[in-house]
Amino acid sequence: DACVQMELLGHNFFVFYNAETDQVNVVYKRKGNTYGLIEPEF
C-alpha cells in the first residue's frame, strides 16, 4: 500500500505507520525501480 501511495504522489520516498509492527517506516525508490524499506529501531 505504501509503495502505491508513493507512486500516486510521484515521490521518491513515503513515510507511513506500519500497523503490523506498530512503528513508523519509510519506503523509498532505488535505482532500477526497486524499493527499499527503512525500519528504524528506537
Name every residue whose Cβ is closer than 8 Å to that of residue 15 and which is 6 or more positions away in sequence. Answer: 24, 25, 26
pLDDT of residue 11: 97
| 2-41: pLDDT as tens digits | 999 999 999 999 999 999 999 999 999 999 989 999 999 8
pLDDT of residue 32: 93
- Domain holding 32, by residue range, is 2-38
Question: In this structure, what CATH number is given to the domain that contains residue 6?
Answer: 3.30.505.50
pLDDT of residue 19: 95
d(CA 22, CA 25): 9
pLDDT of residue 42: 78
State the total domains in the chain.
1
pLDDT of residue 25: 98
